[in-house]
Each structure stands twice: as structure tokens, then as C-alpha cells.
Amino acid sequence: MITRRKFLTTSGIFGTSLVSRPWNLAFSTDSAAGSLTAPLLHSGRGETLITILHTNDTHSQIDPLPANDSLYPGKGGVARRATLVKRVRKQNPNTLLIDGGDVFQGTPYFNFYKGEVEYKAMSEIGYDVGTLGNHEFDNGVEALASAMQFAKFDLVSANYDVRGTPLESRVKQYVVRDIQGVRIGLFGLGISPVGLITPANFKGVTFRDPVPAAREVVKILRETERCTMVIAMTHLGYYPEPKGRAIGDSQVAAQVDGMDFIAGGHTHTFMEKPVSVKQPSGAETLIFQVGKSGIYLGRVDFLLRSGKIVRTAGRLLDLRDEYLV
């Protein structure tokens, strides 16, 4: 494991080597090395191609997983992720990189450096926006705010009210990105802290039900901000057939109009491809979650024509050694 001094002096390597919508859904899990970084869709005249890359539950996995890991030996690692992201962005500059939370906890990097290494690595890779998982609060609100000084990207949450806490200046309700004239609204949703976060570590933060919180922020993004696309980063979990009162991505999507895509997290679900859930209006929301530990990147391409999404395609991107050469 690298030392703090070595990481801080060499971290530059992460950025270099390292309404009903008639969608035509084309999902693919093809992992041929020569085609992985190429666009899944191709734009023509008057069309814009937007690529969303996403991770979730990376859990302080800076290095690749150990060679003796029983399921994913030697996989992952931020250097590979950085290299793959760079190659995708070279193929399509209209690319956003987002995260669904639980960046912290899982390796000694978090125990020793309290989130500094994780947020610095993500900043060097070039993340645009992330949200908060329950493990971001493992050392408390003040420690999280301290770690956030190393995040050179936006952090958003629409249902964690952080007003009056040290997080207030760092966590936004939403952000808007303009890519080639396409306004994209991005917001986050976090899971209930009950039973997951020690109350003292969540002190001052108020949890709101994700369904009404999502409705409110989507209305703002669609009507006030005039966004063409709306994307949620959630740390709620994926429960296609929930037991009890579980409210995950599918349940939120089925109750909230206006979300195009949910990049999920929390349940460490290794989905092979995105799934589609009908909104109350009959339109569709795509949902994708890519497991844990940064083993994969999720990729979804959106093809827009005249301000409308006309086609999407999504798949897993497997981080493999060929991306380092």
C-alpha cells in the first residue's frame, strides 16, 4: 500500500494513465477490447450524443482487489478506471462521470486518511458529480465536511437537508450541466439513516422521504431550470420485488415523473445491463447499478434529436489490464 506522502506527490497519475418518450432501447454487454471505449450509438446531423459513466459503492478500493480475492481477483483499481474514463472521453467529449455514494469505508485508506485519498483520486479521475451514501457518515458530519475539501467535483443530495451543518457549503440540492446546448439536471437521493448511521454521526442532518423530495427537485429542474435531461444518483438500493417497506430505485421511478436515468447504489447489485421502469405518466426511467469496489464502470449513451431522447444504449465496462497500455 502506498504511503500518504507518496500518494500526494504522485496522484497526478490518476488523470493521465490512469411525458412519454419513444425510446429505442439497445442494451449491450459486449466487452470486446477494441470496441469498449467506442460510442454505443452514433449521432447524425442535428443529433447530440451524451454519455454517462457511473460508479457506486467503491468503498475505498484504491488498489485493485487482492490477487487472492475469491470472486474478483486483481480486478478494479483507480488507475485502470482513470485510463478507461480518459479513453471514453476521447471518443465522446460529451461525457459525464457520476457516483452513487459509499465512496468511503472498506480498506485501510479510509481508516488512515479519513476520505482524503478517495476524494483526491476521484478528483484526478475527473468526476463531475457524486452523492452521499450511508458510509460517508462513518466518522461524523464534521469529518465528512473536512474530507470534502479534497473533492474537486460537486456533491448533491435532495433529501438530506444539511442546512445549519458543516456540510451546508459543500452539498447542493442539485446541479445543472450544459453540454452542447443540452441542459442536464443532476441530483442525489440518500437512504434513511435509521439503523445504518449512528445518530451522533448524522447530527444536524434531516432525512426526507425520497419520493416527495424527488418530485420537488425534478419539477424545479424541468420547469425552472428548463433541463432537457434529468439524472438521479441514488443510494437507496435496487429492489425489483421489494419485501416490506423497502423504497429503492424501482419504487421511486414508478412514483416520480420526469427522471431519465437513475445511477443507483447501496445494494451492491451487479446488473448486466440497465432496466427500464414505467413512470406514472407512462414514460420510462432507466436504472443501472454496477456492483461494488470499482470493478466495473456503467455506461449509458443517450442520443438526442430536437431536444428529445430518441435512443439509448447501456452496458458494463470491465476494467482490465489492457487499459493500462
The mean pLDDT of the chain is: 89
pLDDT of residue 36: 62
Instruction: Taking each helix axis as running N to C, give the angle between helix 116-125 and helix 78-91, from 0 to 180 degrees, rounded to the nearest 10.
Output: 20
Q: Could you tell me the residue ranges of all domains in the chain?
A: 19-324
More confident residue, 31 or 262: 262
What does DSSP assign to residue 222? I
**CA–CA distances in Å: residue 304 to residues 106, 148, 224:** 39, 34, 21
- Asked if pLDDT for residue 320 goes beyond 60, the answer is yes
CB atoms closer than 10 angstroms to residue 291: 22
What pLDDT score was predicted for residue 41?
79
> 67-122 pLDDT, tens per residue?
999 999 999 999 999 999 999 999 999 999 999 999 999 999 999 999 999 999 99
Provide the 3-class DSSP secondary structure of residue 13: helix
Predicted confidence (pLDDT) at residue 14 exceeds the cutoff of 50: no
CB 238 within 8 A of CB 267: yes
* Fold that domain 19-324 belongs to in CATH: Purple Acid Phosphatase; chain A, domain 2 (3.60.21)
